[in-house]
Amino acid sequence: MKEEDIQSLSLYSGEPKSEFAIVKILGSLGKLSGGGRLESEKIGTPVKLADLLESLSTKYGLVLRRDSTLILVNGVEANALEDLDTVVSSGDHVSLIPMFHGG
């Protein structure tokens, strides 16, 4: 879904949508500064992945670096879609998975 589709969805209903998607935050990505963990979050839709990541970072202080986070939308890697411009819609499932590199 492209940005112009977001406007169409918003204009179509005539009122704000109260539909949601689920974000699963796996492994070390969900560690909160206070010692707790964030495992999932319900988010309002439609929203671009870039805005979703920024919102989670701001709200919870999570470190979600794109170069070390695998992002799946309904099981498909975000790079195979529109990467951070991918629009998350109602009913979608987003998974944030830490990637570890080494040798």
**Strands 87-88 and 47-48: what pairing?**
antiparallel
Q: Which two tokens stand for residue 22?
A: 């689920």
The pLDDT value recorded for residue 18 is 55
The pLDDT value recorded for residue 46 is 96
pTM: 0.79
Tens digits of per-residue pLDDT, 4-59? Answer: 444 333 333 344 545 999 999 999 999 998 889 999 999 999 999 999 999 999 99
Query: How many helices (DSSP H) and strands (DSSP E) are in the chain?
Result: 2, 7
- Where along the chain do its domains lie? 17-98
Q: For domain 17-98, give the CATH number.
A: 3.10.20.30
Tell me which of 3 and 24 has the higher pLDDT. 24
